[in-house]
C-alpha cells in the first residue's frame, strides 16, 4: 500500500493547508504575529484551487468579509491573534445570530494589549467563550500538535457546517511556529461536510433560512446563496425568515434555540484524549501545547509507579465536563496546568464536587512553556502528600 506523502509543516502552514482541504475557498485577513503565516500560505495556495485571498484594512473588516463570503455560498475563514481577536468579537456575535458557518483562527500570544507578540500563551480561553456580548454558545477547538492542527481544522469546518455557527480554532505562538513531520490522512479517510445549497428558489421567492427546529438532530440544511434569491439577514432578533421582530417571545425563542443547538449536543461535539486514566489516583489536565509537557511528565511518573493519568481536552468549548466529572470521581487529586492564571481551571473545578479533592494548579504567564519537570514536581509532591 502506497503511503501518503509525508508532510513537514509549521503549525500555521498545516492550518492553512488543512482548511483548503476542508473546502475553504475564501480568506480575508490582516497580518499579525504570530498568525501571519496562515495568511501567507492562503495568499499563495487559494488561487491555485479557484479560491480568493483578500488582505483587508483591519481585523474587523476581515471577519465581516468572511461572514459575507459564507452567506454568498463559500466556505470561509480568517486568522488573527490577541488584539485582532479582540476586534472581531462583534462579528463573531453577528455570525452566531445570523447562523453563518465560518472559522476564526486565533494564534494566541502573551497579552493583554500588544504584550509579547512572539511568545506563546493561553490567555484567550475565556475571551473565546465570552468575548462577544449577550448569551450565546460557541464551539472552539485547540489541538496540540501539527498533525492535529491539520486534522482538527477540517473538523472545525465540519462543525461550522453541521451546526451553522462560527467555530473558533485556537493555537498558540509555539504550536503555530513549530515544525513537525506527519502523514496526512488519505482522501478516502477524510470526512468533509460539503456546503448544501438550495437551488430550488428563484429570484422572486422568499427563502426561509432560520429553522424553528430545536436541533434535536442537527444536520446541515441547505442554504440559499445571497444574490440568487430573496434572503434577509439581520443581527437583530428575527423570525425564521430573517426579518426583525421585537416581541419578548421571539427574543426568548431565538436566543434559547441558538444556545440549545450546541448545548444539547455538547457530548457529541466534545473531542478529548486520555492516557493512563483507568487506575489513576492523580489526574493531570492540560490542553494545547501544554499537553505535550504534561504527557511527558505523566510517562515519567508512571515509570516511578505513580498512578497518574492525563486528560487532554481538544474541544475547549463547550467544555467536555461530562467526561471530566467521571474521571474526577475516581481520583484523589486533580492537577491543572495552563499558560494563564487559571482560566480553564475555574470552569472545570466549578463542574465537580471538590470537597474531597486536592486541587493543584500550575500557571505561567511569562511567555515560556510549562516544562515537563515543573508538572512532574507537582505530581511527585502530590504523591507524597497522598
- Provide the CATH number for the domain around residue 361: 3.40.50.920
Domain membership flag for residue 310: yes
Query: Are 22 and 134 within one domain?
Result: yes
Predicted pLDDT of residue 383: 76
Domain membership flag for residue 208: no
Report the domain count for the chain. 2
Show Cβ contacts of residue 167 under 8 Å, excluding neighbours closer than 6 positions: 101, 102, 103, 104, 139, 140, 141, 156, 157, 159, 160
C-alpha cell at 343: 482560566
Average pLDDT, the chain: 92
Query: Are 55 and 151 within one domain?
Result: yes
User: pLDDT tens, 30-47?
Assistant: 999 999 999 999 999 999
Query: Are 31 and 160 within one domain?
Result: yes
Query: Are 176 and 300 within one domain?
Result: no
The gap from C-alpha 158 to its chain's centroid, in whole angstroms, comes to: 12
d(CA 336, CA 357): 13
Predicted pLDDT of residue 216: 46
Query: Are 12 and 107 within one domain?
Result: yes
Domain membership flag for residue 253: no
Q: Is the pLDDT of residue 218 over 60?
A: no
Query: Are 149 and 291 within one domain?
Result: no
d(CA 31, CA 38): 9
The gap from C-alpha 216 to its chain's centroid, in whole angstroms, comes to: 23
The answer to whether the beta carbons of residues 192 and 154 sit under 8 Å apart is yes
Q: Is the pLDDT of residue 226 over 50?
A: yes
Domain membership flag for residue 219: no
Among the three residues 148, 163, 189, which one is the final residue of a domain in this structure? 189
Query: Are 182 and 286 within one domain?
Result: no
Query: Are 19 and 139 within one domain?
Result: yes
Q: Within 13 A of 365's CA, how many CA atoms are on the CB side? A: 10
Domain membership flag for residue 166: yes
Q: Is the pLDDT of residue 385 over 80?
A: no
d(CA 332, CA 291): 21
Domain membership flag for residue 254: no
Laid out side by side, the sheet with 76-80 consists of 52-55, 26-29, 76-80, 102-108, 166-172, 139-141, 315-317
Mark residue 164 as left, alpha or beta (left: phi above 0; alpha: psi -120 to 50; beta: remaining): left
Name the band, by pLDDT with cuts 50, 70 and 90, for residue 214.
Answer: very low
User: pLDDT tens, 81-140?
Assistant: 999 999 999 999 999 999 999 999 999 999 999 999 999 999 999 999 999 999 999 999
C-alpha cell at 325: 466529572
Identify the CATH number of the domain in which residue 42 sits: 3.40.50.970
**Domain around 103:** 7-189
The answer to whether the beta carbons of residues 15 and 168 sit under 8 Å apart is no
Domain membership flag for residue 213: no
User: pLDDT tens, 188-209?
Assistant: 999 999 987 766 655 555 666 6
Q: Which of 230, 229, 249 is nearest to 239 (CA)?
A: 249
Mean pLDDT to the nearest integer, 354-380: 95
d(CA 330, CA 354): 12
Q: How many CB atoms lie within 10 A of CB 246?
A: 8
C-alpha cell at 73: 455560498
Q: What is the DSSP letter of 110?
A: B
Q: How many CB atoms lie within 10 A of CB 341?
A: 12
DSSP β-bridge partners for residue 116: 110
Among the three residues 128, 157, 189, which one is the final residue of a domain in this structure? 189
Domain membership flag for residue 205: no
Query: Are 54 and 158 within one domain?
Result: yes
Among the three residues 189, 215, 232, which one is the final residue of a domain in this structure? 189
Q: Which of 140, 32, 146 is nearest to 82 (CA)?
A: 32
C-alpha cell at 337: 496546568
Query: Are 58 and 171 within one domain?
Result: yes
Amino acid at each position: 500500500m502506497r503511503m501518503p506523502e509525508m508532510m513537514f509543516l509549521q503549525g500555521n502552514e498545516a492550518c492553512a493547508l488543512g482548511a483548503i482541504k476542508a473546502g475553504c475557498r475564501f480568506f480575508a485577513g490582516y497580518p499579525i504575529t504570530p498568525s501571519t503565516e496562515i495568511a501567507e500560505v492562503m495568499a499563495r495556495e487559494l488561487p491555485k484551487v479557484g479560491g480568493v485571498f483578500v488582505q483587508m484594512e483591519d481585523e474587523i473588516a476581515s471577519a465581516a468579509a468572511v461572514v459575507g463570503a459564507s452567506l454568498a455560498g463559500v466556505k470561509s475563514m480568517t486568522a488573527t491573534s490577541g488584539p485582532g481577536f479582540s476586534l472581531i468579537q462583534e462579528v463573531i456575535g453577528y455570525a452566531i445570530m445570523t447562523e453563518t458557518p465560518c472559522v476564526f483562527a486565533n494564534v494566541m500570544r502573551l497579552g493583554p494589549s500588544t504584550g509579547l507578540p512572539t511568545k506563546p500563551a493561553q490567555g484567550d480561553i475565556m475571551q473565546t467563550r465570552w468575548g462577544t456580548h449577550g448569551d450565546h454558545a460557541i464551539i472552539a477547538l485547540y489541538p496540540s500538535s501539527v498533525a492535529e492542527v491539520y486534522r482538527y481544522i477540517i473538523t472545525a469546518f465540519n462543525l461550522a457546517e453541521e451546526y451553522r455557527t462560527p467555530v473558533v480554532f485556537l493555537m498558540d505562538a509555539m504550536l503555530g511556529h513549530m515544525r513537525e513531520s506527519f502523514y496526512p490522512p488519505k482522501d478516502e479517510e477524510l470526512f468533509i461536510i460539503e456546503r448544501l445549497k438550495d437551488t430550488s428558489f428563484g429570484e422572486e421567492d422568499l427563502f426561509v433560512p432560520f429553522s424553528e427546529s430545536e436541533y434535536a438532530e442537527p444536520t446541515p440544511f441547505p442554504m440559499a446563496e445571497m444574490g440568487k434569491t430573496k434572503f434577509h439577514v439581520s443581527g437583530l432578533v428575527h423570525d425564521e425568515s430573517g426579518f426583525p421582530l421585537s416581541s419578548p417571545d421571539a427574543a426568548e425563542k431565538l436566543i434559547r434555540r441558538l444556545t440549545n443547538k450546541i448545548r444539547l449536543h455538547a457530548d457529541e461535539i466534545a473531542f478529548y484524549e486520555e492516557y493512563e486514566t483507568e487506575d489513576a489516583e492523580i489526574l493531570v489536565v492540560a490542553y494545547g501545547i501544554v499537553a505535550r509537557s504534561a504527557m511527558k511528565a505523566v510517562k515519567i511518573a508512571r515509570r516511578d509507579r505513580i498512578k497518574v493519568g492525563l486528560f487532554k481536552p481538544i474541544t475547549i468549548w463547550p467544555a467536555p465536563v461530562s467526561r471530566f466529572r467521571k474521571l474526577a470521581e475516581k481520583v484523589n487529586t486533580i492537577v491543572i496546568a495552563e499558560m494563564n492564571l487559571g482560566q480553564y481551571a475555574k470552569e472545570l473545578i466549578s463542574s465537580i464536587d471538590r470537597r474531597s479533592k486536592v486541587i493543584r494548579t500550575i500557571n505561567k504567564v511569562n511567555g515560556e512553556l510549562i516544562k515537563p519537570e515543573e508538572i512532574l514536581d507537582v505530581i511527585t509532591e502530590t504523591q507524597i502528600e497522598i
